[in-house]
């Protein structure tokens, strides 16, 4: 295990941030959301991930597609937000596309002379697991994500998130480097001090961290009396998975909360929460969301304080507790390896 933390320049240096984009985020899998966002034929959602404009569509054959949201005529962005449409029409010169990505009409061009196949929307690789859609920008054929998800599936058996219902999305803009948020997430060490209420909900003594290739897991038992989650006699556990670099699954009885940590620049990030529930009463859902917001606000407060401290001339590098911070150390080794090996 690494005993020293990354030095503070890793949290504020523009060049390191650019390297992270290049060697980590443009090669890693990203969580886009759930297939529930496009339940009907013709539904689409436009997003930006890692600075790339993307669209998710459900076409007439009920197939899900992920494309770059860019017209192949002269590069205009095609869709915004979300909606339902029979076709995708470019607002610049009027080219139209099917929701499957095929070019349908090319205004200003001779149908006989233009190779329509060449101007289809550019697809992005995706993978669906338990209704969650992951995308990847590069063409490397590595199956690491599949392996990771298989392992997670085994650990959480018999849970299957395909039966869970999507509830809502919250986005938090946080004034810290994206790794500050991850570092904080990857240990339960701070819980008694930063989250007094959460500390009564979980059984802190049972809190454990386990590390695997490219992901890690924290889990603990819940105290059923004070838990805002569904009472579950057979499986009163919470799991916190981190798929490196930035996908989190927070699992409690009857609830999946996914988080993605999206860097904005070297000192700011967005954290996106999606909530899914199964067989949970409305009262418990509301309780869970209020409680999650409370915990998140405590984490935001502490992360922003850490970012300020990292900028200070009075700190450069710290150390890890072997007992409590192996998850953070593992994550930071992953980051430095990716950057150092290019």
Q: Which of 106, 137, 101 is nearest to 120 (CA)?
A: 101
Piece of the chain touching ligand FES by CB under 6 A; list 44-52, 90-98, 262-270, 319-327? 90-98
Cα dihedral sign, 322-216-187-25 = positive
Instruction: Kindly state the smallest distance separating residue 199's Cβ from Fe ion, in Å.
Output: 10
* Binding partner at 302 among Fe ion, ligand FES, none, C-beta below 5 to 8 Å by kind: none
Q: How far is CA 323 from the centre of its chain?
A: 27
Is residue 76 within the footprint of ligand FES (CB under 6 A)?
Answer: yes
**Smallest distance from the beta carbon of 60 to ligand FES, in angstroms?**
22
Tokens of 154: 């085994």
73 binds ligand FES (CB under 6 A): yes
CA distance 198 to 184: 15
Give the number of other Cβ atoms within 10 Å of residue 235's Cβ: 12
Q: Is residue 77 at the binding interface for ligand FES, with CB under 6 A as the rule?
A: no
Task: For residue 92, state whether it binds ligand FES (rule: CB under 6 A).
Answer: yes
- What is the spatial distance between Cα 209 and Cα 328, in angstroms, rounded to a whole number? 10
CB 144 to ligand FES: min, Å: 36
Q: Is 93 in the site for ligand FES (CB under 6 A)?
A: yes
Q: Smallest distance, Å, CB 97 to ligand FES?
A: 10
CB-nearer residue toward Fe ion: 288 or 299:
299
Q: How far is CA 145 from CA 96, 112, 218, in A?
A: 34, 43, 19
Angle between helices 282-311 and 178-185 (to 10 degrees): 120
CB of 40 to ligand FES, least distance (A): 26
Binding residue for ligand FES, selected from 74, 197, 286, 305, defined by CB under 6 A: 74
Nearer of residues 93 and 168 to ligand FES, judged by Cβ:
93
- Which of 71, 88, 99, 251 is the binder for ligand FES (CB under 6 A)? 71
Q: Is 95 in the site for ligand FES (CB under 6 A)?
A: yes
Element at 151 (helix H, strand E): helix 144-156
Nearer to Fe ion, 54 or 306 (CB): 306
CA atoms within 13 A on the CB side of 188: 23
In whole angstroms, what is the distance from residue 98 CA to residue 85 CA? 10
- Of 76 and 155, nearer to ligand FES (C-beta) is 76
Whole-angstrom distance, CA of residue 331 vs CA of residue 340: 14
Positions that interact with Fe ion (CB under 5 A) = 299
Distance CA 218, CA 197 (A): 18
Position 310 contacts ligand FES (CB under 6 A): no
Residues forming contacts to ligand FES in the complex (CB under 6 A) are 71, 73-74, 76, 90, 92-95
């Amino acid at each position: 295990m690494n005993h020293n933390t990354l030095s503070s320049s890793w949290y504020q240096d523009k060049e390191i941030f650019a390297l992270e984009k290049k060697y980590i985020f443009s090669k890693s899998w990203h969580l886009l959301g759930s297939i529930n966002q496009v339940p009907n034929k013709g539904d689409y959602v436009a997003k930006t991930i890692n600075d790339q404009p993307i669209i998710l569509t459900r076409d007439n054959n009920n197939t899900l597609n992920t494309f770059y949201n860019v017209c192949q005529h002269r590069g205009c962005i095609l869709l915004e937000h979300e909606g339902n449409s029979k076709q995708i029409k470019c607002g610049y010169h009027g080219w139209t596309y099917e929701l499957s990505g095929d070019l349908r009409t090319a205004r200003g061009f001779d149908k006989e002379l233009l190779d329509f196949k060449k101007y289809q929307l550019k697809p992005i690789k995706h993978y669906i697991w338990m209704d969650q859609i992951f995308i990847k920008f590069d063409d490397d054929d590595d199956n690491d994500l599949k392996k990771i998800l298989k392992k997670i599936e085994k650990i959480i058996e018999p849970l299957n998130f395909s039966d869970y219902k999507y509830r809502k999305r919250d986005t938090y803009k946080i004034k810290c480097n994206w790794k500050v948020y991850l570092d904080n997430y990857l240990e339960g060490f701070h819980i008694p001090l930063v989250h007094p209420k959460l500390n009564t909900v979980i059984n802190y003594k049972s809190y454990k961290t386990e590390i695997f290739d490219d992901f890690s897991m924290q889990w603990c038992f819940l105290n059923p009396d004070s838990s805002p989650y569904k009472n579950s006699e057979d499986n009163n556990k919470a799991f916190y998975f981190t798929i490196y670099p930035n996908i989190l699954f927070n699992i409690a009885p009857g609830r999946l909360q996914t988080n993605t940590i999206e860097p904005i620049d070297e000192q700011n990030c967005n954290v996106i929460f999606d909530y899914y529930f199964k067989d949970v009463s409305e009262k418990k859902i509301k309780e869970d969301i209020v409680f999650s917001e409370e915990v998140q606000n405590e984490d935001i407060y502490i992360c922003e304080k850490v970012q300020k401290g990292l900028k200070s001339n009075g700190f450069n590098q710290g150390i890890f507790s072997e007992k409590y911070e192996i998850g953070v150390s593992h994550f930071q080794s992953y980051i430095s390896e990716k950057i150092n090996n290019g």
